[in-house]
Amino acid sequence: MANIPIVQAAAAYTDPDSGKTYSLIINEALYMGDTMARSYMNPNQMQYFGLVVNGVQKHLLPSPNDESHSIYVTSPNLQIPLQLKGVLSYVPIRYPSDYKLQNCEWVPMTSDKIGTPPP
Segment 27-50 shows an average pLDDT of 82
Separation CA 56–CA 43 (nearest Å):
12
pLDDT at 59: 86
pLDDT at 87: 85
As for how many domains the chain has, the answer is: 1
Domain contains 1: no
pLDDT at 113 over 80: no
pLDDT at 119: 53
Domain contains 51: yes
Domain contains 113: no
Domain contains 119: no
Domain contains 83: yes
Q: Which of 28, 43, 27, 24 is nearest to 95 (CA)?
A: 24
- Which of 32-41, 90-99, 105-114 has maximum average pLDDT? 90-99
Asked whether 48 and 27 are in contact (CB, 8 A), the reply is no
pLDDT at 116: 57
Q: What is the pTM of this model?
A: 0.84
Segment 80-109 shows an average pLDDT of 91
Domain hosting 85: range is 6-32+41-108
Q: pLDDT, tens digit, for every residue of 5-33? A: 888 889 999 999 999 999 999 998 888 77
